[in-house]
Amino acid sequence: MTVITRFAPSPTGTLHVGNLRTALHNWLFARRHGGRFLLRIDDTDGARSEERFVEAIRADLAWMGLTPDAEERQSARFDRYEARLAQLVADGRVYPAYETAQELELKRKVLLGRGLPPVYDRAALALSDADRAALEAEGLRPHWRFKLDHEAAIAWDDLVRGPQRFEAKLLSDPVVRRADGSWLYLLPSVIDDIDMGVTHVVRGEDHVSNTATQIQMFDALSGAVPAFAHEALLTGAEGKLSKRLGSLGIDHFRAAGIEPEALIALLARLGTSDPVEPFADPAPLVAAFDFARFGRAPARFDEAELAQLNARIVHQLGHDRVADRLPAGIDATGWEAIRPNLNTVAEAADWWAVVEGPISAPPVADEDRSFLGQARTVAETLDWSADPWRALTDALKATTDRKGKALFLPLRRALTGRDHGPDMAALLPLIGKDRALARLEAG
């Protein structure tokens, strides 16, 4: 069996971190099993779907490196949904209903008031042909409900949540098509999953009760019921379902200097019993991906954790991965010198400005003045092609009584204008003789 997963966003907005996590897990699982990962654009809602969001979804997946093996679009498949619906109507599994939203609301309130579950009473099933004709003559158009089999137990072994059981008679027959002809999500999704051979449906736990009704739709359409993995939702760092998470998307992460590898490394493991580790390559994440590792508790998404992970990943990125984002002049040697000090790739520009200058060094303390003068004299005669920092500091150790911080800090300050930064042995050759002499002179 070839594993086929699908990520099925509705293009009514941009993807947020929860959606990105779902997309990633679909991708990881498909890769893990040598399967296929589909992107399905759920654009049945013509009024709310927008082409710019479809493009944004594609771009976000591309940025993450989650390339779909194929793309499908629900709006291209209305004829297919029509045909399958007609068959369900002929089979008596879908029926027309005419209640208005207000009538349904009233029925709900009455049931709730009596302490009963607000399950649709199937009054529409009792209508005769004449009743329906009369309603239609009044100008009413039906919406369509899927008739659940109340006798069948609905059960599945969820890959994340374990055994699940639902009583069909406690569920309302779901509306699958509105009176205006538009489709609700439930049935088209099942038709697609059957036609596209989807073997594993991976989505958020907010879909668990949809799954209960969809399993009966798979059966009614004689489709193989896929396996399901319903994942616990993400919460914000403060532990609550946060509104902010719902608006955090790729634009935000890019602007914050987050690398796709960091987002992947975090989202692949968040909510699992495995440690989050700074993988710059997804291969080990693919190899170890397993829904059994996921817990049922909400997973906590912490931007501070992401930023730390990002820094550890930036420290591993090769020059070729970042070259197009670096200021001109930073070659592989320059990048490797600066890289260990970065939180984000963009910060390389700050260190490159230190290399190229001009820098504004803090005023030299009186007691360092003659020491820096000596340093300048040594620097002038050094062999700059070898390891000038080593040669400079060895010479100064031998000719002054300074060592440790008293030796290094005044040099670092004069040469870079800062107290901290990349390893001076790597930085000094980049600063080079002329600039170094001028900076030591300025002191």
Cite the annotated binding site for ATP by residue number.
243
Question: What are the residues whose beta carbons fall under 8 Å from the beta carbon of 85, sequence distance 6 or more?
Answer: 94, 144, 176, 177, 187
For residue 259, which of 217, 306, 293 has the smallest C-alpha distance? Answer: 306
Residue 9 within binding range of ligand GLU, rule CB under 6 A: yes
Q: Name the one range near ligand GLU by CB under 6 A: 5-13, 276-284, 316-324, 410-418.
A: 5-13
Instruction: Give the binding range for ligand GLU (CB under 6 A) out of 4-12, 112-120, 287-295, 400-408.
Output: 4-12
| Contact with ligand GLU (CB under 6 A) among 5, 189, 199, 416 | 189
Q: Which is nearer to ligand GLU, 8 or 64 (CB)?
A: 8
21: exposed, middle or buried (Cβ count in 10 Å: 0-12, 13-18, 19+): buried
Q: HSE of 430 in the Cβ direction (CA atoms, 13 Å)?
A: 24
Smaller CB separation from ligand GLU, 6 or 339: 6
CB atoms under 10 Å from CB of 367, counted, come to 9
In the complex, minimum distance from the CB of residue 203 to ligand GLU, in angstroms, rounded to a whole number: 4
Q: Which residues of 213-249 are buried (b: 16+ CB within 10 A; e: fewer)?
A: bbbbbbbbbebebbbbbbbbbbbbeeeeeeeebeebb
Interatomic CA distance for residues 174 and 210, integer angstroms: 9
Q: Which is nearer to ligand GLU, 42 or 158 (CB)?
A: 42
Tell me: does residue 8 bind ligand GLU (CB under 6 A).
yes
Q: Which residue is nearest to ligand GLU (CB)?
A: 42
Q: At what angle do helices 388-399 and 404-416 cross, to 10 degrees?
A: 130
- Part in contact with ligand GLU (CB under 6 A); list of ranges 3-11, 241-249, 353-361, 376-384: 3-11
**Residue with Cβ nearer ligand GLU (49 or 310):** 49
Of 8-16, 117-125, 310-318, 369-377, the window that binds ligand GLU (rule: CB under 6 A) is 8-16
CB 231 within 8 A of CB 205: yes
Residue 144 contacts ligand GLU per CB under 6 A: no
CB 142, CB 180: distance < 8 Å: no
77-96 burial: b if 16+ Cβ within 10 Å, else e: beeebeebbeebeeeebbbb
Q: CB 296 → ligand GLU: shortest distance, Å?
A: 19
Using CB under 6 A as the binding rule, whether residue 42 contacts ligand GLU is answered as: yes
Instruction: By CB under 6 A, tell whether 146 contacts ligand GLU.
Output: no
Using CB under 6 A, count the residues that bind ligand GLU: 9
Q: How far is the CB of 201 from ligand GLU (least distance, A)?
A: 6
Residue 8 CB burial class (10 angstroms; 0-12, 13-18, ≥19): buried
Pick 8 or 61: Cβ nearer ligand GLU = 8
Tell me: does residue 173 bind ligand GLU (CB under 6 A): no
Is residue 26 close enough to count as binding ligand GLU by CB under 6 A? Answer: no
- Burial tier of 280 (Cβ tally within 10 Å: 0-12, 13-18, 19+): middle
Does 185 contact ligand GLU by CB under 6 A? yes
Q: Which stretch binds ligand GLU (CB under 6 A): 2-10, 55-63, 83-91, 315-323?
A: 2-10
**Chain residues 325-384 in contact with ligand GLU, contact rule CB under 6 A:** none
Instruction: Pick the closer one to ligand GLU by CB: 205 or 350.
Output: 205
Binding mask 191-230 for ligand GLU (x = CB under 6 A): ----------x-x---x-----------------------
Give dist(CA 80, CA 74) in Å, integer: 10
| Sequence-ordered strand ranges (E) for 23-132 | 36-41, 70-73, 94-97
Q: What phi-psi label fits residue 420: left (phi over 0), alpha (psi between -120 and 50 degrees) or beta?
A: beta
Give the footprint of ligand GLU on this chain (CB under 6 A): 8-10, 42, 185, 189, 201, 203, 207
